[in-house]
Amino acid sequence: MPALAQKLLVLRSHLLPLVAGHQRSSSFHQAAARYRPSGPPKLSPYDVNCILRGNEHTQEFGSGSVKSYDTNQLASNSPIEDSRTEGSCVHTSGLLLGIFDGHAGPACSQVISKRLMRYLAASLVPPDDLKTHLQNGAQSQSFVDCHNDKLEFVSEIKDIYERSFEIFANELTNTTLAGFQMHQVLENAFLRLDQDLSREALESPSIRTMSVAMSGAVAVVAHIDGPHLHIASTGDCSAVLGTVTDTGQWIAKKLTNEHNSDNVGEVRRLLNEHPATERDTVIRGERLLGQLAPLRALGDFRYKWTREQLEQLVVPQFGEHVIAPYYLTPPYLTACPEITHHILTPRDKFLILASDGLWDTMSPMQTVHLVGEHMYGKAFLQPLKLPKHDITFDEISQMLSTRKAGLQKKPLDRNAATHLIRNALGGTEYGVEHSKLSHMLSLPQDIVRLFRDDITITVVYFDSEYLRNCPT
């Protein structure tokens, strides 16, 4: 047996049971219905805090429309299939933030979380400037200053990815600023990276390129530059804007649409791309070809490659059942993102980006209320500071009374993403219940996926004063 075949067979048992993405059998549902937590909580409050805060990160900025962001993630799958990346564009003034929800393993989400940001950042550099940077030996990672990224690709795969980036970046130098459209830049970066993932697996088949090709990921990416907020979404991650009215009421503005079978327009688009004879088979059981929940994704080339390509490269390693039933007129899946542009105002206070593990448990309005309350209560975590000018005893008394009332709303977590995860898993109508939270965090690995998905959240806070004074 060839060496590649031996390596890919190792992946087979891991990839094939998961390749449908979020699919669960009826027996699993029955097991979940029968499962009832019993006995005292298995985890102490200290244990719960250690688990919830293990992956949190906060980044603050000294200027611009973004004051700071909080991010965190909690695994259900082992290893976790979600990824996240946040970084400042080195050669432009924008900030990029992304959430990537993988399926059929973590490979695709891990790879695109790094590479997509680099493709986007390079695409935003003026062509003449980009050409100069490339001539000076700039590599892909030099275009984004990542704030919470501790890993790098291994040399074997890094060289392949770097060659693809170099080709893409050099092609960008032939474009003109006159034709610059942010919508087109975002869409082109998504599609080009997906094309490169496909080509790399076809031209350089290995255990690493094939693991990415046979897995997939949905993504939501935000680009923020001054008052301009652009959201690019492929799949079912979501972005929600928290806005406050003149009367102090919170409004949740959803900036994305889920690309799944609940989206009538998305289903119509997909059906129109295939012959009428396939109307009953393109989507079956609310899934693409009866298997995949999201109707757009990066990777997942078993739904994009021709049947001949699958038979030549994939079937010998994974078996005939890697080809979905009724696989007649591929591609059935696209990585093309849906783009939203929003001009930020002083009323826009924060942006929530999250994988569907959060939205499975709470609505956009609930998340906005929780972050809004957290934002107000977090101010009382800071020491009381008296103003530098003279102040009367009555004014001090009033400040202390206000602080005393505010301390009742003081959050347990400084990080808003952690606050959301805590409420998502332990929230009840009476508040967060420790016993519920403890049970949700101590479920056995073989059943935890039945109760909760991987959760990844980034909360971005805007500077109202900057937005009040900056030109649009």
Q: In the chain, what are the helix, strand and coil shares in percent, each to the nearest 5?
A: 45, 20, 35
Three-state SS at 8: helix
Distance between CA atoms of residues 447 and 441, nearest Å: 12
350 against 13, higher pLDDT: 350
**pLDDT category of residue 45 using cuts at 50, 70 and 90:** very high
- The pLDDT of 51-61, averaged and rounded, is 97
Q: Is the pLDDT of residue 4 over 50?
A: no
Average pLDDT over residues 133-159: 91
pLDDT band, residue 42 (cuts 50/70/90): confident
Q: Which residue has the tokens 């503005």?
A: 253
Going by pLDDT thresholds of 50, 70 and 90, the confidence category of residue 122 is: very high
- The answer on pLDDT for 393 being more than 80 is no
Q: Note the pLDDT tens digit of each residue in 365-377.
A: 999 999 999 998 7
If one counts every other C-beta atom within 10 angstroms of the C-beta of residue 189, the result is 25
Instruction: Write out pLDDT tens, residues 195-254.
Output: 999 999 999 999 999 999 999 999 999 999 999 999 999 999 999 999 999 999 999 999
pLDDT > 70 fraction of the chain, expressed in percent and rounded? 87
pLDDT band at 472 (very low <50, low <70, confident <90, very high): confident
Confidence bin at 177 (pLDDT 50/70/90): confident
Q: What is the pLDDT of residue 351?
A: 98
- What's the first-to-final CA gap in the chain, in angstroms? 62
Q: Would you state the pLDDT for residue 453?
A: 96
What pLDDT is stored for residue 399 in this prediction?
Answer: 63
What average pLDDT is seen over the chain?
89
The pLDDT assigned to 406 comes to: 56
Task: Specify burial of residue 134 (Cβ count, 10 A radius: 0-12, 13-18, 19+).
Answer: middle
Rounded Cα gap, residues 339 and 220, in angstroms: 10
Collapsing DSSP states into helix, strand and coil, what is residue 131? helix
Q: For residue 385, name the pLDDT band (cuts at 50, 70, 90).
A: low
**pLDDT at 239 (0 to 100):** 98
CA distance 454 to 105: 12
Does residue 235 or residue 14 have the better pLDDT? 235
For residue 58, is pLDDT > 60?
A: yes
Structure tokens that stand for 168 in this block: 């893409």
The DSSP bridge partners found for residue 230 are: 223, 341
Predicted local confidence at residue 87, as pLDDT: 97
Q: Stretch 412-419: mean pLDDT, rounded?
A: 96
25 pLDDT higher than 60: no
The mean pLDDT value for 168-182 works out to 89
Domain ranges of the chain: 37-259+333-469, 260-293+298-332
What pLDDT score does 24 carry? 39
Q: Would you call 339 helix, strand, or coil by DSSP?
A: strand
pLDDT value at position 36?
Answer: 53
Which band of pLDDT confidence, cut at 50, 70 and 90, is reported for residue 381? low
**Does the structure show a pLDDT above 80 at 390?**
no
Q: What is the DSSP string of 415-451?
A: SHHHHHHHHHHHEETTEE-HHHHHHHHS--TTTHHHH
Q: Note the pLDDT tens digit of each residue in 95-117.
A: 999 999 999 999 999 999 999 99
Rounded to an integer, the average pLDDT of 124-149 is 95
On whether the CB atoms of residues 89 and 143 are closer than 8 A, the answer is yes
Q: What is the pLDDT of residues 302-348, one digit of tens each?
A: 999 999 999 999 999 888 999 999 999 999 999 999 999 999 999 99
Name 241's bridge partners.
253, 351
The answer regarding whether domain 37-259+333-469 maps to CATH 3.60.40.10 reads yes
Residue 386 binned pLDDT confidence (cut-offs 50, 70, 90): low
In this predicted structure, what is the pLDDT of residue 178? 75
- pLDDT for position 5: 44
Query: Residue 32: which pLDDT band, with cuts at 50, 70 and 90?
Result: very low
Which stretch of 259-268, 300-309, 384-393 has the lowest confidence by average pLDDT? Answer: 384-393
